[in-house]
Structure 1
Amino acid sequence: MNQRTPVIMNLMEKDVFVEGKVDWKGRAATKNKHGGMRAAVIVVATFAFENMANLALAVNLVFYFNTVMHYDIADAANHLTNFMGTSYILSILMAVLADTYIGRFRTVLIAAFIEFLGLSLLTLQAHYPKFKPPLCNIFLPTSHCEKLSGSNAVMLFSAIYLLAVGGAGVKAALPSHGADQFEEKDPKEAAQMSTFFNWLLLGVASGGCISLTFFVWVQDNKGFDYGFGLSMIAMFLGGVTIICGLPWYRIYVVQGSSAITEIIQVYVAAIRNSNLQLPEDPSELHEIPMDKEAALHEEFLPHRDVYRCLDKAAIRSDNTVPSGPWKLCRVTQVENAKILLAMVPVFLCSIIMTLCLAQLQTFSVQQGVTMDIKLTKSFNMPPASLPIIPVAFLVILVPIYDQILVPLLRKFTGIPTGITYLQRIGVGLLLSSFSMAIAGIMEVKRKDVARDHNMLDAVPVLQPLPISVFWLSFQYFVFGIADMFTYVGLLEFFYSQAPKSIKSISSCFLWSSMAMGYFLSGIMVKIVNHATKRGTKSGGWLAGNNINRNHLELFYWLLAILSLINFIVYLFVAMRYKYRPQTLDAEHEHEVHQLRTLKPSMEAL
């Protein structure tokens, strides 16, 4: 060996370092020691515990608000959808903190603690009678039950919205932290990343199975205090699990500057430069040279001939005097703004599906309360456990889809994920429309049974209808398949298309669309009740506490029509979308050039 050997060895060792990521001690992360599926599995397990803690709440809180806290069905449903919507919308703020200031891993830890605190407070209130309104049967027409109010109401909603904040942080940062364990530029790791997102859904479904069966059964049969206590324990185990993976994580290093600010700068600069003429040659637009030492670790994107109005942000008004960031932006910065702008229509088309999901977590559960819930002569199925049908199906279908269907589709399409992200999303959107149509048909059948047996005014708890709750499984089954296609497709789509500095924020496109869907659900219930007030005795299709006298089937069919229209709009959006181009990395190009230069020396050795 000669004196050149250490230089070559250093270059070869540098290849195993992961750019922009460190281990838990702050040292540069390496591919052979950190990240990969080993670390990702721990993230999947953490998400499973988090969903285990929360899914039982999502499906049974309406019943808790209605029967224990004495809110009307519509108010109880709105309280739940407001809570869910707030949690999802707060994920944007938590994502900004994760990407810019705190870091994704630390955000997960802090959020898990806040969520644990909210569950502890909820358990405490459910256990002690002094924190609840007096006992009363809300289903009896002659009852005038006192609703929760005063300091006890403050306690309830404090607990609920602590859960919202904590859940927002976990949802915002945990999927991105898991995806950080892979490098998109490495073809093998890029394929593993797609598998990780499928496994993430599998983890959510696995935790959901336990939550929807055991936790819900405990809530209904042993008391909500015991059920909430189990959720608190599951959240604690989730926090412990994420900490256990510390030695293997690749932890993304925050840049200290807001990527959102850089996007806003593009729009401001484009407006300020609106009077300037775009150059015919895009190469004349502003970009820092890739061979400059200051450009190392920077991301570079090629110019695209779309949304040309934003290109004005990169026009040099004076070639001799550099402008500030609010008047002159890099081409890459402009392209990032274009990518986010192009994703907005896809984001908007996903809102209606969450609107449908909200009904399965609220009104479909109320349907189940009125039906025969017997599995055997001695065991009753809790109505809130109905979502176990699509969730259990996902546990079976996700491995089949990932390990069998995707490789098979890959042979025909040549696409690593089998089908494109947008095709996967579209399949789910169409199936959600079918699910709502089926839900309307099932509601007609349920009401026919109630009418035929003169049970339209029956008290569900005392006298359930002689029709099995499993008739509702059809709508849950179809929506479960839609879930697998759309939500995982959206998560992959937003993560893969977003700039690397805002990966957490990009995943919040999904959570934000869900937030808007939940908020829209509450608004739509009120609009529908107001619009149908004159034509019904109860004061609207969905008004009052007697679901047998309501017109839920018409509401479901209305959602089916809206979902179908939404799918048609989505087809136009998807056909016009252009996928993000490959990133040009200055440091990578520089290293490749060095290795090519030293290739003769290496062969000589």
Structure 2
Amino acid sequence: MFMLRSCPSSSNFSVVAYFYGTLHLDIVTSSTVIGYLVGAVLISAALMNFISDAYIKRTTAIFVFGPCVILGYTLLALQAHFPSFHPEICEINKEPNNCEPAKGWNLTMLCLSLLLFAVGEGCMRSCIPSLGGDQFSNDDPKKSQLKSMFLIWLKFANSLGAIIGLAFLVWIENNLGWNIGFMICALIVLVGLLVAASGMPFYRMQKPTGSPLTRILEVLVVSSNKRQAIVDVIELQETGQAECIHKSGATQVDETKAITRMLPIFISCLVIYLPFTLLMTLTIQVGSTMDKGAGIIQIPSASLIAIPTAFHMLMQPCYSRVLTPLLRTTTGHECKISPLQRIGAGSVCGTAAACIATLVEVKRLTVVEQHGLTSTGTGVPISVFWLVIQFFLLSIMDAASFSGLIEFIKSEAPPAMKPIAPAVQSFLAGLAAWSSCAFVQLVNRATRGGDCSRGWLDGANFNRTRLDHFFLLLAAFELVALINYAFWARRYAMKQQRIGTVGLEDDN
């Protein structure tokens, strides 16, 4: 089911081409809609993780909210199929300034379909891995080993589904029609839900046991009544509440303190994540203006993401099965990269991706001027494969920083809080995606100037933008975010070392 979910989900990288070519949305609006969509999916995943832990079973969440994905794709297919649901057909690449954008009811229908998709996609993204993990007992060492094996196969299935979606569904959407592509996506998700439903008699169900977030809120409420930021165990005992929370109070306070200590890391990661969605979206969009030919085959720019995805899928077993044991044998150490180091490495890749994107865009605009293509929106004689390097670096950033934050929470948080690590990461990444919408609009307005001149990203013609300047700004932003993160990460590591030293002295 996870592979079938990943297949159409990965093809959504190309939906920005649908916004541009069929709905005639300009550059800023397309980037903003994608940012809101990505943020809604991630925030929905975080909320569904919380709900499935605290209130309803995961299978109930999957089969109640999962069909929303099918409904969202169906509405998108209807909008793409019927001319009355989208603007009149117009060659936006040839006449980028003469095409009427979608508005009114058409834009409302788009937002409704994307909202339905986000709710269902977020639910399946968070609940399916958790449902699989529930089938294994953590008390049995053999079951724990099987659970680790399951998670490896789950990542493999996710990558395999993404490659299929990027290679085939993106091609179908761009060549056979968006209506056909969206309907195939809906059918694939339907098959996935039916496959999951066939296993219902065999699943090991976990009853909702409550979320640690609820306990943290309880502590914060008590702390606000005492006009303090953090409640200490000793202070709770002094207030006469010790009998009520004698057993659970210490755990609640420990969880709250752990989250409080990690807050600077969380905020730093939010800033690191902000340029990611913009870099990915704008790179896919600018690829539509470049030469997509590979012999007799036309390759959409979004399909290039399949190259780094396949590389990571092949390298993952090599890293865990070959490289790590080899380094352990030769050096005598574990040779594992810490979660904080993985987040930092991902940010370095993000900075490098933005710098390379700037250089490629400078080269592309130079070719545009040489061939006099400023008035047209496509046909730039430069290969789309120039974008592979920045896609590769962005995929490393995705794999390193995003998963690194999850591992950081699991390694540093109390045991009861470890299950919410993916929810916290999804929530921060969702906030970053929504923040990127405000960022791109703010930058575009600030660069217009007082004489009504064009902003860096005004209009729908990429050959008349200053996307190179915007990519350079993103590179500078990511570099500042990396420096800020390095400061807080180093401070957190030193603080944890001091806490560990004090604990050892107390034990002695």
Normalising to structure 2: TM-score of the pair? Answer: 0.88
Instruction: Please say if 1:50 is aligned against 2:13.
Output: no
Listed one character per residue, the Cα deviations across residues 548-601 of structure 1 (whole Å, up to 9, x for unaligned) are: 2212122212222222222222223333144999xxxxxxxxxxxxxxxxxxxx
Which among 467, 489, 492 is matched to residue 574 of structure 1? Answer: 489
Assess if the C-alpha contact under 8 Å between 2:290 and 2:380 holds in 1. Answer: yes
Normalising to structure 1: TM-score of the pair? Answer: 0.75
* Structure 2 partner of 1:552: 467
Q: Distance in 1 between matches of 2:404 and 2:127?
A: 18
Q: What is the percent sequence identity of the aligned residues?
A: 33
Matches within 5 A, 1:270-285: 270-273=223-226
- Please report how far the alpha carbon of residue 221 of structure 1 lies from its aligned counterpart in structure 2 after TM superposition: 0.6
Listed one character per residue, the Cα deviations across residues 389-419 of structure 1 (whole Å, up to 9, x for unaligned) are: 222222222222222233334554755x933
- Please report how far the alpha carbon of residue 335 of structure 1 lies from its aligned counterpart in structure 2 after TM superposition: 0.9
Listed one character per residue, the Cα deviations across residues 62-105 of structure 1 (whole Å, up to 9, x for unaligned) are: 21112211221211111111111122122232222111111233
Which among 367, 374, 379 is matched to residue 293 of structure 2? Answer: 374
Instruction: Please say if 1:336 is aligned against 2:336.
Output: no
Aligned-pair RMSD on alpha carbons? 3.0
Assess if the C-alpha contact under 8 Å between 2:354 and 2:471 holds in 1. Answer: yes
* Structure 2 partner of 1:346: 265
* Structure 2 partner of 1:492: 407
Listed one character per residue, the Cα deviations across residues 362-400 of structure 1 (whole Å, up to 9, x for unaligned) are: 211121111110011x22111222322222222222222
Assess if the C-alpha contact under 8 Å between 2:215 and 2:252 holds in 1. Answer: yes
- The amino acid that maps onto 2:385 is F
- Larger helix fraction of residues: 2
* Structure 1 partner of 2:476: 561
- Please report how far the alpha carbon of residue 155 of structure 1 lies from its aligned counterpart in structure 2 after TM superposition: 2.4
Assess if the C-alpha contact under 8 Å between 1:87 and 1:164 holds in 2. Answer: yes
Listed one character per residue, the Cα deviations across residues 99-125 of structure 1 (whole Å, up to 9, x for unaligned) are: 111123322232322212212222222
Assess if the C-alpha contact under 8 Å between 1:99 and 1:502 holds in 2. Answer: no
* Structure 1 partner of 2:52: 98
- Please report how far the alpha carbon of residue 346 of structure 1 lies from its aligned counterpart in structure 2 after TM superposition: 2.6
Listed one character per residue, the Cα deviations across residues 221-251 of structure 1 (whole Å, up to 9, x for unaligned) are: 1000111112112212221333344455443
Matches within 5 A, 1:129-140: 129-140=83-94
- Please report how far the alpha carbon of residue 537 of structure 1 lies from its aligned counterpart in structure 2 after TM superposition: 7.9
* Structure 1 partner of 2:343: 425
Q: Distance in 1 between matches of 2:251 and 2:274?
A: 36
Q: Distance in 2 between matches of 1:135 and 1:74?
A: 21
Q: Distance in 1 between matches of 2:162 and 2:34?
A: 18
* Structure 2 partner of 1:600: none
SS in 1 for 2:381: coil
Structure number with the bigger relative contact order (C-alpha 8 A, sep ≥ 6) is 2
Which among 365, 369, 372 is matched to residue 447 of structure 1? Answer: 365
Listed one character per residue, the Cα deviations across residues 13-37 of structure 1 (whole Å, up to 9, x for unaligned) are: xxxxxxxxxxxxxxxxxxxxxxxxx
SS in 2 for 1:466: strand
CA gap of 1:499–1:97, structure 2 versus 1, over 3 A, is farther
Count of residue correspondences: 495
Assess if the C-alpha contact under 8 Å between 2:230 and 2:257 holds in 1. Answer: no
Which among 520, 526, 533 is matched to residue 441 of structure 2? Answer: 526
* Structure 2 partner of 1:514: 429
Q: Distance in 2 between matches of 1:193 and 1:382?
A: 37
Matches within 5 A, 1:238-387: 238-246=192-200, 249-255=203-209, 257-273=210-226, 309-312=231-234, 314-318=236-240, 324=244, 330-376=249-295, 378-387=296-305
Assess if the C-alpha contact under 8 Å between 1:398 and 1:484 holds in 2. Answer: no
Unaligned runs of 5+ in 1: 1-45, 276-306, 582-605
- The amino acid that maps onto 1:53 is P
Rg bigger for which structure?
1
Unaligned runs of 5+ in 2: 501-508
CA gap of 1:573–1:184, structure 2 versus 1, over 3 A, is farther
Assess if the C-alpha contact under 8 Å between 1:176 and 1:507 holds in 2. Answer: no
Which among 82, 102, 105 is matched to residue 151 of structure 1? Answer: 105
SS in 1 for 2:125: helix
Q: Distance in 2 between matches of 1:185 and 1:573?
A: 36
* Structure 1 partner of 2:310: 392
- The amino acid that maps onto 1:55 is S
SS in 1 for 2:108: helix
Q: Distance in 2 between matches of 1:535 and 1:195?
A: 60
Assess if the C-alpha contact under 8 Å between 1:96 and 1:504 holds in 2. Answer: no
Assess if the C-alpha contact under 8 Å between 1:262 and 1:333 holds in 2. Answer: yes
